[in-house]
Amino acid sequence: MRLSRRPLAASAALLLLTACQATPEAPPETAERQYGTLTFKPCTLTSAQASSNVEAECATLQVPENPDAPTGRKIGLNIALLDTENLGEGKQDPVFFLAGGPGQSATEVAAIVNQALREVRKKRDIILVDQRGTGKSNPLSCLDADGKELAFDEKAAPTPAVIAEYAQRCAATLVDRADSRFYTTTQAIGDLDAVRAALGVEKINLVGASYGTRVAQQYAARFPQHTRAVVIDGVVPNDIVVGADFANTFEAAIELQSAQCRKDPACAKRFPVDTRTQLRNVMTTLAKAPVDVEYRDPGTAQVRRDTVSADTVTGLAFMFSYMPELSSLLPVMLDEAAQGRYAPLMSLNSLVSRSMGGQMNRGMQWSVICAEDYDRFQEAPAGDRLLGPEVARMFFAACPVWNVGTRPKDFTAPLSAPLPALLLSGEFDPVTPPRYAEQVLKTLPNGRHLIAKGQGHGTIGAGCMPRLLGQFMDTANATSLDATCLDTLTPVPAFTSFNGWEP
């Protein structure tokens, strides 16, 4: 997405990757299409936040839940096809989009993918596979006997004990419909190759976002003969413990935002106290005494009353740093809070929480991180960090009570291959900073790393990036790309009031 000074609501809708749901229509039998051994039928991928629906074709592939027990329980992989009108060479190697999280459904972000990969789609089909445990691929949802989401006390402090108790109840609901040991990245890449084989193609291209970059690297390492080219956006090195480095990466992102404000005369004059210091001050105040706040819910327009705490502020700041066009609000929000006016902060927190809610499947996320990261986690000293070690503790709180699988011995080895690879990073990314991509690039001799200035987490739609992705998929040559068009990207100016930024 090219940065422009569009209304914040529209920007938030795009950047939040808000959920869209695949809704199969009832087409006539003649509308069926055979692609390899799979039968696709027309379907519509919709989103309340998207400006238009995405017309697609949907299919299901049955695979064993336990790959070592092929006659055991089967699960259906939900697959969506965004086809191309091209009948040439590109039809022989489609592009698989790998969603983030872990826990995000690929088909539920179809509107964003279709926009970001529009140039790629001119010559190649785009394949969206809901990773097992997400979307409609036997989701590991925490449901009660009536099929409703298990109640979680949102007013209770999110302690490790509270999360573990919820996870234990969730695990009990899965006993008859899923074995959570078999919902890791290792099984997921086997599923991807099963879809590739069913489509009847010899090679595929991979586009992975965030956690999807781990999936892409693992697939390329295990199936190099079937991997033509890779794009990884928001790169996660194989040896990184997901969640363990949040305190450091978040700190670095906030410091970058503070530096950006100091460079802008209007911002520096309006906010003499830098963003990091202001955030620390507000957190310290609320840690001593949380405050009951009356505010208007932006979703319902109703007046609500909730408690704002230090956790509320840090959680919102973390979400802001994912989204540059919303992070521009952070200084003015913190300034209001420093004056004891918390209603604007709570209203925006409600908006962001509602938009992000339901996008990640908790059960699938626990299956991945508990098998692949938990035993490698070593708690670092708190130090002078805005986020302390309790963040990682809560991230892994479910693991002691979850039914956990395993990972291969070479799982954390870096991807070392001559395949064409394009690595993308956002300058202000608080989760997967550019240094992560630089680490991965060291063992990819035909790789190239592009940094999108002023961007946060997720850059495949930024500026001219869609055009560069189309060119890369055409040539499978990252070094030949002319990426100077990315120089037009600039950070979003900080709001100096709720009316916007100064011209």
The reply to whether 52 and 128 lie within a common domain is: yes
Last residue of a domain, one of 321, 356, 391: 356
The reply to whether 233 and 308 lie within a common domain is: no
- 222: number of Cβ within 10 Å: 17
Burial code (b: 16+ CB inside 10 Å, e: under 16) for 27-62 equals eeeeeeeebeebebbbbbbebebbeeebebbbbebe
Q: How far apart are CA 256 and CA 233, in angstroms?
A: 20
The reply to whether 108 and 216 lie within a common domain is: yes
Give pLDDT, residue 274: 85
Indicate whether 167 belongs to any domain. no
Read off the pLDDT of each residue in 183-206 and give the average, rounded to a whole number.
Answer: 98
Binned at pLDDT 50, 70 and 90, residue 382 comes out as: low
- Output 349 or 284, whichever has higher pLDDT: 284
Q: Where are the alpha helices (DSSP H) in 204-361?
A: 211-222, 246-263, 265-270, 275-288, 310-322, 324-327, 330-338, 343-356
Q: Is the pLDDT of residue 276 over 90?
A: no
H or E stretch including 207?
Answer: strand 204-209
Least confident of 74-78, 370-374, 381-385, 470-474: 381-385
Q: Is the pLDDT of residue 266 over 50?
A: yes
Structural tokens at position 476: 């499978």
* pTM across the whole model: 0.89
Read off the pLDDT of each residue in 208-223 and give the average, rounded to a whole number.
Answer: 97
Indicate whether 333 belongs to any domain. yes
Count of domains observed in the chain: 2
Q: How far apart are CA 216 and CA 207, in angstroms?
A: 7
Indicate whether 18 belongs to any domain. yes
The reply to whether 326 and 452 lie within a common domain is: no
Q: Is the pLDDT of residue 14 over 90?
A: no
The reply to whether 69 and 194 lie within a common domain is: yes
Give pLDDT, residue 243: 81
Q: What is the DSSP string of 102-140?
A: TT--SGGGHHHHHHHTTTGGGTS-EEEE--TTSTTSS--
- Output 389 or 405, whichever has higher pLDDT: 405
The reply to whether 76 and 38 lie within a common domain is: yes
Q: Is the pLDDT of residue 31 over 90?
A: no
Percent of the chain that is helix, strand, coil (3-state, to 5) = 40, 15, 45
Q: Is the pLDDT of residue 153 over 70?
A: no
Least confident of 146-155, 298-307, 367-376: 146-155
The reply to whether 328 and 236 lie within a common domain is: no
Indicate whether 109 belongs to any domain. yes
Q: Are 402 and 167 in contact (CB under 8 A)?
A: yes
Binned at pLDDT 50, 70 and 90, residue 333 comes out as: confident
The reply to whether 95 and 25 lie within a common domain is: yes
Read off the pLDDT of each residue in 45-71 and give the average, rounded to a whole number.
Answer: 86
Indicate whether 155 belongs to any domain. no
Last residue of a domain, one of 329, 356, 383: 356
Give pLDDT, residue 16: 30
Indicate whether 378 belongs to any domain. no
Binned at pLDDT 50, 70 and 90, residue 448 comes out as: very high
Q: Is the pLDDT of residue 357 over 60?
A: no
H or E stretch including 171?
Answer: helix 160-174
| CA-to-CA separations, 475 to 98, 201, 486, in angstroms, rounded | 21, 19, 19
Indicate whether 85 belongs to any domain. yes
pLDDT > 90 fraction of the chain, expressed in percent and rounded: 55
Q: Which domain holds residue 312?
A: 271-356
Indicate whether 66 belongs to any domain. yes
pLDDT > 70 fraction of the chain, expressed in percent and rounded: 88
Q: Are 454 and 427 in contact (CB under 8 A)?
A: yes
Last residue of a domain, one of 312, 341, 356: 356
Q: Are 27 and 41 in contact (CB under 8 A)?
A: yes
Binned at pLDDT 50, 70 and 90, residue 481 comes out as: very high
- Which is nearest to 450 in space by CA: 130, 235, 267, 301? 235
The reply to whether 132 and 216 lie within a common domain is: yes
Give pLDDT, residue 47: 56
- Output 59 or 248, whichever has higher pLDDT: 59
The reply to whether 301 and 223 lie within a common domain is: no
Give pLDDT, residue 483: 97
The reply to whether 337 and 426 lie within a common domain is: no
